[in-house]
């Protein structure tokens, strides 16, 4: 398999033009391997490179269609990287949204110990730093629509609940969100026994989607997949779980989607918790979907993405109406003075 890690040395953000089949650069090969390059069409632009979010360098892509209606940021799941989110990227571009994607620390082409983190708070700090730097460089602007898969959903939920309703987020889409993993009682017991003596264990590639082509790709054709599970990451997750439970609720519009065949996170228990944290949430469950919802088989993905599409459009229409009414209110107040 091709080694894409030299791309970690790219400085800053570079504007990428549509690649020709003969383009043999490593970046072009990366875009082809993850089938991202085909989305560079209809005047859509792509900036790609590394953003400093101390102490990490984050591999980042900013996709911008003509006259975007808003800005969405995708936060991927554990073991993942942004190259696996082509389907969701395509959906958002179809809805004429600017899309920011990035690799979490220790994942994909971002810096950091592979698949590890000292504290879950670092994820949230990277998220806010990344958004601020993109804003400062004129590459993206809020308010932001956040879409997260699994651990990415937990990062977005924690950020929202930690900052209150600060108008930073227009809304959230939480896909198979992590609050606690599936079969957590047994896993926590094993971690308590083994964790102090072992720094990592081999990763087991369980089928996390009904799409066998996708699960085969993860196991056999993706050079950016971590092969070990650091026990330090599990320790950080165990510290984060009660912290999330203590955070106050948020009124932010939220869509939560969960598959009933998910054997990665404890879906029913997690939904109960998140219903309390996001009382305005719309919850959609699918009886056949597994965990990796953005890479489910096409019939399931089409149904789930339609839920996402409807939710996003309602948010954007509401935001547009609010934006149009704001100057009118201001002018009316001015004329009365």
DSSP state of 328: H
pLDDT band at 164 (very low <50, low <70, confident <90, very high): confident
Question: In 3D, which of 182, 154, 174, 153 has the Cα closest to residue 269?
Answer: 182
pLDDT band at 194 (very low <50, low <70, confident <90, very high): low
Query: Which stretch of DSSP H or E encloses residue 319?
Result: helix 298-336
pLDDT band at 8 (very low <50, low <70, confident <90, very high): very high
User: Averaged over 235-251, what is the pLDDT?
Assistant: 97
The mean of the pLDDT values for the chain is: 92
Interatomic CA distance for residues 252 and 274, integer angstroms: 12
pLDDT band at 41 (very low <50, low <70, confident <90, very high): confident
User: Averaged over 152-180, what is the pLDDT?
Assistant: 96
In a domain, 176, yes or no: yes
> Given this model, what pLDDT does residue 337 score?
35
What order of strands is seen across the sheet that includes strand 71-75?
13-16, 45-53, 56-64, 98-102, 71-75, 144-149, 169-175, 254-259, 282-286
DSSP state of 18: P
In a domain, 336, yes or no: no
| Tokens found for residue 329 | 């209110």
* Count: domains in the chain: 1
In a domain, 309, yes or no: yes
In a domain, 158, yes or no: yes
Three-state DSSP at 190 gives: helix
- Flag whether pLDDT at 336 surpasses 70: no
In a domain, 125, yes or no: yes
> Given this model, what pLDDT does residue 173 score?
98
- Flag whether pLDDT at 267 surpasses 80: yes
Provide the CA 323 distance to its chain's centre, in angstroms: 27
Length of the chain (residues): 337
User: Averaged over 186-202, what is the pLDDT?
Assistant: 75
Interatomic CA distance for residues 48 and 102, integer angstroms: 10
- Flag whether pLDDT at 209 surpasses 80: yes
| Tokens found for residue 165 | 């309703």
User: Averaged over 177-190, what is the pLDDT?
Assistant: 83
Three-state DSSP at 135 gives: helix
Least reliable range by pLDDT among 89-93, 171-175, 317-321: 317-321
In a domain, 335, yes or no: no
- Flag whether pLDDT at 237 surpasses 60: yes
Range of the domain at 46: 5-330
What is the per-residue pLDDT across 254-264, written as a single tens digit (0 to 9) for each? 999 999 999 99
What is the pTM assigned to this prediction? 0.93
User: Averaged over 63-69, what is the pLDDT?
Assistant: 94
- Residues 273-277: contacts with CB under 8 Å, at least 24 apart: 273/179, 273/244, 273/245, 274/157, 274/174, 274/177, 274/179, 276/249, 277/157, 277/161, 277/244, 277/247, 277/249, 277/250
Three-state DSSP at 177 gives: coil
CATH of the domain at 85: 3.40.50.1820
Share of the chain above pLDDT 90, in %: 83
| Tokens found for residue 142 | 């809020």
> Given this model, what pLDDT does residue 23 score?
82
In a domain, 257, yes or no: yes
In a domain, 129, yes or no: yes
Query: Which stretch of DSSP H or E encloses residue 95?
Result: none
pLDDT band at 24 (very low <50, low <70, confident <90, very high): confident
Interatomic CA distance for residues 205 and 47, integer angstroms: 32
Q: What are the start-end ranges of the E strands in 21-142?
A: 45-53, 56-64, 71-75, 98-102
- Flag whether pLDDT at 86 surpasses 60: yes
> Given this model, what pLDDT does residue 28 score?
93
> Given this model, what pLDDT does residue 189 score?
53
């Amino acid at each position: 398999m091709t080694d894409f890690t030299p791309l970690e040395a790219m400085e800053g953000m570079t504007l990428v033009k549509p690649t020709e089949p003969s383009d043999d650069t490593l970046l072009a090969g990366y875009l082809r391997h993850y089938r991202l390059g085909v989305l560079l069409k209809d005047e859509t632009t792509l900036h790609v490179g590394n953003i400093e979010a101390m102490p990490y360098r984050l591999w980042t892509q900013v996709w911008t269609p003509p006259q975007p209606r808003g800005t969405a940021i995708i936060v991927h799941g554990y073991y993942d990287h942004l190259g696996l989110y082509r389907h969701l990227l395509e959906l958002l571009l179809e809805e004429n949204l600017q899309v920011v994607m990035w690799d979490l620390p220790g994942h994909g082409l971002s810096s950091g110990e592979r698949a590890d983190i000292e504290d879950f708070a670092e994820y949230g700090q990277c998220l806010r730093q990344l958004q601020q730097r993109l804003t400062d460089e004129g590459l993206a602007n809020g308010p932001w629509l956040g879409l997260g898969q699994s651990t990415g959903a937990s990062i977005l939920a924690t950020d929202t609940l930690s900052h209150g309703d600060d108008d930073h987020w227009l809304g959230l889409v939480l896909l198979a969100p992590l609050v606690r993993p599936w079969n957590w009682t047994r896993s926590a017991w094993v971690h308590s026994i083994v964790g102090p003596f072992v720094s990592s264990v081999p990763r087991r590639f369980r089928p996390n989607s009904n799409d066998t082509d996708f699960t085969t790709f993860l196991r056999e054709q993706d050079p950016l997949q971590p092969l070990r599970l650091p026990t330090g990451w599990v320790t950080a997750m165990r510290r984060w779980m009660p912290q999330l439970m203590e955070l106050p609720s948020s009124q932010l519009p939220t869509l939560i989607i969960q598959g009933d065949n998910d054997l990665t996170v404890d879906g029913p228990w997690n939904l109960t918790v998140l219903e309390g944290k996001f009382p305005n949430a719309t919850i959609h469950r699918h009886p056949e979907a597994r965990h990796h919802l953005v890479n489910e088989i096409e019939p399931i993905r089409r149904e789930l993405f339609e839920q996402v599409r409807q939710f996003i459009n309602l948010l954007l229409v509401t935001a547009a109406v609010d934006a149009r009414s704001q100057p009118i209110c201001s002018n009316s107040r001015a004329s009365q003075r």
